[in-house]
Amino acid sequence: MIPSAFTFYKPDSIEKAVSIMKDFGDEARVIAGGHSLIPVMKQRLTDIKHLIDLSAIEELKGINISGKSITIGAMTTQVELITNENLFKTAPVIREASLQIADPQVRNLGTIGGNVANGDPANDMPGLMQLLDATYKLSGTNGLREVKAREFYDGAYFTAREDDEILISISFDAPIGGYAYEKQKRKIGDYATAAAGVILNVDNGVCSSASIALTNLSDTPVYCDEAVSMLTGKNIDDNLLSQATKSCVEQSDPVADQRGPVEFKKYVAGIVINKALKRAFERS
Amino acid sequence: MEKINVSMKVNGKDENLHVEPRTLLVHALREHLEYTGAHIGCSSSHCGACTVDLNGKSVKSCTIFAPQAEGAEILTVEGIGTPDKLHVIQEMFKEHHGLQCGYCTPGMIMRSYRFLQENPNPTEEEVRFGISGNLCRCTGYQNIVKSIMAAAKKLNEEANVEKKEIA
């Protein structure tokens, strides 16, 4: 499979990349790890005339941890997220989730920026970033702006990013409490049939704060605000976790595909959400 | 479409290519440089038959455009052993019947080559997770895992002998 022809650019600064995007509008696309983009180019599901490789832009790389505040450059690969010990100490849920993405070769090239900016509801990072209440920094013709991960996704492949904008970094505060990212998939390398991320902060049995987000259970990630308010301020027990699970499943809106009909997906969702809640509670 | 110049080091040799930007690395290796070790299986980054080493990392060469590999150091199966002098991993695949039809083998070998540097003392489970991006349609995984475990043992023995010799 060979994609249609394009012109290749490898700018060394964000400004140069943005200016190419401005010149060519929706005929131009940036490429990060390429493991979502190249397959659709090869299938000719998208026709890109100008491809902008971001790999030479140093500002887009690296993980910066300063106290509680974590900033990850868009071009940071999944394997860098997994192997960074300081990131593991401050936000261990990232390693747990990243190890469940694709396979070793793909994780060597796949980036966090590509994963969150693509807007594919099957990607794990968008849900994970909603779980962490992350903020995305975008750079475009009109300068810099920030968008919350929980407000970034409008629909499958539709996001708040404008055509001339590049997602440059992702920031969030180190999460407090127990965590879990649970994913059910048919095989390694497959997208989730259902996946759930949970963070639970529990003091003396009482939940002081919580966060729950779901992957591939709607056309965007699902942030489960109803279950979060159900848990916050309450004594945590199995019964409450079951009620929260039920509320999350109700907020999900999966579609039938090769991974199964809606009823099956909701059943699997219930299992992964409950497992994630329980594991996060055990770790809290 | 206009061709561009791409240079890379493949199996220790500097190479200059004049290719269309849409040329995939696997095609550049196979058709332009005649390193046909990297195979095209699924061409959709699932099967891993096209796995090569790029700057010390295993990658699927069907999902990289040649110009993305500008300046990179690439190692293919041709670069780790020769028919007269097989690499330990190749020897162990031969000894433990780690191949049936052989189509996935270059990818399996190249992934094992890098994996055993990332984790020189793997458990069987770690081997299976380490090669989870490589599929064998003959389903010959038992012997592939056996071969990699045997290669790990042999490579470690060789490393220990070298250490003693230096000491």
Note whether B68 contacts A42, CB cutoff 8 Å: no
Note whether A53 contacts B51, CB cutoff 8 Å: no
Q: CA of B134, closest CA in chain A: separation in Å? A: 9
B41 → chain A, closest CA residue: A1
Domain with CATH 3.30.43.10 in chain A: 7-53
Give the architecture-level CATH label for domain A7-53: 2-Layer Sandwich (3.30)
> In this structure, are residues A11 and A56 in contact, taking their beta carbons and an 8 Å threshold?
yes
CATH 3.30.565.10 is the classification of domain A178-283: no
Domain with CATH 3.30.465.10 in chain A: 58-173
> In this structure, are residues B67 and A8 in contact, taking their beta carbons and an 8 Å threshold?
yes
The 8 Å CB, 24+ separation contacts for B26-31 are B26/B50, B26/B61, B26/B62, B27/A2, B27/B66, B28/B66, B28/B69, B29/B61, B29/B74, B29/B76
Backbone angle region of A177, left / alpha / beta, with phi > 0 → left and psi within -120 to 50 → alpha: left
Instruction: Specify the pairing of strand B51-54 against strand B57-60.
Output: antiparallel
What confidence tens digit (pLDDT) does each residue in A220-249 have?
Answer: 999 999 999 999 999 999 999 999 999 999
Cβ-based interface (< 8 Å): residues of A facing B: 1-8, 10, 31, 34-35, 38-39, 42, 51, 53, 55, 79, 102-106, 108-109, 188-189
Structure tokens given for B111: 């992934």
A102 → chain B, closest CA residue: B133
pLDDT score, position A219: 97
Q: How far apart are CA B37 and CA B22, in angstroms?
A: 21
CATH number, span A58-173: 3.30.465.10
Selection from A28, A30, A133, A23 nearest residue A74 by Cα: A30
Selection from B148, B22, B19 nearest residue A42 by Cα: B22
Could you say which of A8, A79, A105 has the minimum Cβ distance to residue B60? A105
- Measure the N-to-C terminal CA separation of chain B; round to a whole number of Å: 59
Selection from A8, A21, A49 nearest residue A142 by Cα: A21
Q: How far apart are CA A170 and CA A149, in angstroms?
A: 9
Q: Computed over its alpha carbons, how large is the radius of gyration of chain B?
A: 16
Q: How far apart are CA A126 and CA A213, in angstroms?
A: 9
Note whether B65 contacts A8, CB cutoff 8 Å: yes
Helix (H) or strand (E) holding B108: helix B105-118
B98 has pLDDT over 90? yes
In this structure, the number of other CB atoms found within 10 A of the CB of residue B65 comes to 26
Could you say which of B46, B70, B115 has the minimum Cβ distance to residue A189? B46
pLDDT score, position A1: 86
Domain residue extents for chain B: 4-79, 88-162
Phi/psi at B131 (5° precision): -105, 20
Considering chain A, what percentage of its residues have pLDDT values greater than 90?
99
**What is the mean predicted confidence (pLDDT) over B15-27?**
98
CATH 3.40.109.10 is the classification of domain B4-79: no
With tokens 């963070």, the residue in question is: A199
pTM for the whole thing?
Answer: 0.96
Per DSSP, A5 falls in state P
Q: Give me the amino acid identity at A266.
A: K
Could you say which of B44, B58, B70 has the minimum Cβ distance to residue A104? B58
What confidence tens digit (pLDDT) does each residue in A75-128 have?
Answer: 999 999 999 999 999 999 999 999 999 999 999 999 999 999 999 999 999 999
Helices (H), A8-51: 14-24, 37-42
What confidence tens digit (pLDDT) does each residue in A23-74 have?
Answer: 999 999 999 999 999 999 999 999 899 999 999 999 999 999 999 999 999 9
- Measure the N-to-C terminal CA separation of chain A; round to a whole number of Å: 48
CATH number, span B88-162: 1.10.150.120
Q: How far apart are CA B99 and CA B96, in angstroms?
A: 9
Extended strands (E) in A151-254:
153-155, 158-159, 166-173, 178-185, 192-203, 206-215, 222-223
CB contacts, 8 Å: B111 with chain A: 104-105
A105 → chain B, closest CA residue: B59
Structure tokens given for B23: 């040329």
CB contacts, 8 Å: A11 with chain B: none
With tokens 């902060």, the residue in question is: A201
Note whether B63 contacts A34, CB cutoff 8 Å: yes
> In this structure, are residues A137 and A171 in contact, taking their beta carbons and an 8 Å threshold?
yes
B4 → chain A, closest CA residue: A8
Q: CA of A105, closest CA in chain B: separation in Å? A: 5
A50-53 β-sheet, strand order: A7-9, A50-53, A28-31
CB contacts, 8 Å: B69 with chain A: none
A39 → chain B, closest CA residue: B44
